[in-house]
Amino acid sequence: MNGRIIAIGDIHGCHQEFAELLDRVAPGKDDQLILLGDLVNRGPDSNKVIDLARAHRALSLLGNHELRLLNYRKTKDSSALKETDLATFEKLRPEDWAYLEAMSLTHHIEELNTVFVHGGFLPGQPWQKQGAQIVTRIQVIDEDGKPARRADCPDGRLWADSWSGPPFVVYGHTPRPEVYKLKWSVGIDTACVMGGSLTAFILPEKRFVQVKARRRYYP
């Protein structure tokens, strides 16, 4: 591996902050950009985010927002739709759908002993075997040991607090005012679309670069 790995948290349509962050980290031709999912929805322009991702040959991982849009496209079952889904759905072009369809669930870099994923993993089970409903959505673990949303289970334990790798996990999905760095994981969704910041985590140097949101776009 010659270049750097540049992982970026949930962009959610914040194309200006994404462009500014790319300027700051200035990816070279040997660097690999990894976007941790939820590129789309909520923010100002999902199409522009996908265009930038494509132009930079980013490796993009599936987020729960992309998963929901892809499912709706297949089933037309609107009962699972949320917030800005329909507006995003109508704007996505054929090349954007192809981009979403090609997103991976996880990305493993053996020589860094690191896995990249949108949401996280259920501790105590092989991470390679965990499906989209877990890895794109998990935030906490409920009292039955099941994956859950933080909002539905405020007393649940954060999955990362119970995760004792290896591998080291780099993830997004759980927005926080600051990065959440533990021995075996780092959460880098710093809530850009809600007026926080957009974070890049650069390996192997383990450096963070952040761009402040121009404003709060959502809710």
User: Please, what is the minimum distance in Å from the beta carbon of residue 77 to Mn ion?
Assistant: 20
User: Please, what is the minimum distance in Å from the beta carbon of residue 189 to Mn ion?
Assistant: 7
Q: Which is nearer to Mn ion, 61 or 211 (CB)?
A: 61
Q: Which two tokens stand for residue 186?
A: 């780092």
User: Please, what is the minimum distance in Å from the beta carbon of residue 66 to Mn ion?
Assistant: 9
User: Please, what is the minimum distance in Å from the beta carbon of residue 110 to Mn ion?
Assistant: 26
Q: Which is nearer to Mn ion, 17 or 38 (CB)?
A: 38
Which CA distances in Å does 152 have to 25, 41, 138, 139, 181? 36, 21, 11, 10, 23
User: Please, what is the minimum distance in Å from the beta carbon of residue 153 to Mn ion?
Assistant: 16
- C-alpha span between 172 and 9 (Å, rounded): 5
Q: Which is nearer to Mn ion, 32 or 136 (CB)?
A: 136
- C-alpha span between 106 and 52 (Å, rounded): 21
Q: Which is nearer to Mn ion, 27 or 140 (CB)?
A: 140
For residue 129, what are the contacts with CB-CB under 8 A and spacing of at least 6?
A: none
Q: Identify which of 175, 158, 120 has the alpha carbon closest to the alpha carbon of residue 9.
A: 175
Binding site for Mn ion (CB under 5 A): 38, 63-64, 173
- C-alpha span between 202 and 70 (Å, rounded): 30
b/e map of 73-96 (b: 16 or more CB within 10 Å)?
eeeeeeeeeeebbeebbeebeeeb
Q: Which is nearer to Mn ion, 139 or 210 (CB)?
A: 139
Q: Which is nearer to Mn ion, 14 or 27 (CB)?
A: 14
Neighbours of 187 (CB within 10 A): 28
- How many CA atoms lie less than 13 Å away from 107 in the CB half-sphere? 22
Q: Which residue has the tokens 């990249």?
A: 116
Residue least distant from Mn ion (Cβ): 173
User: Please, what is the minimum distance in Å from the beta carbon of residue 36 to Mn ion?
Assistant: 9
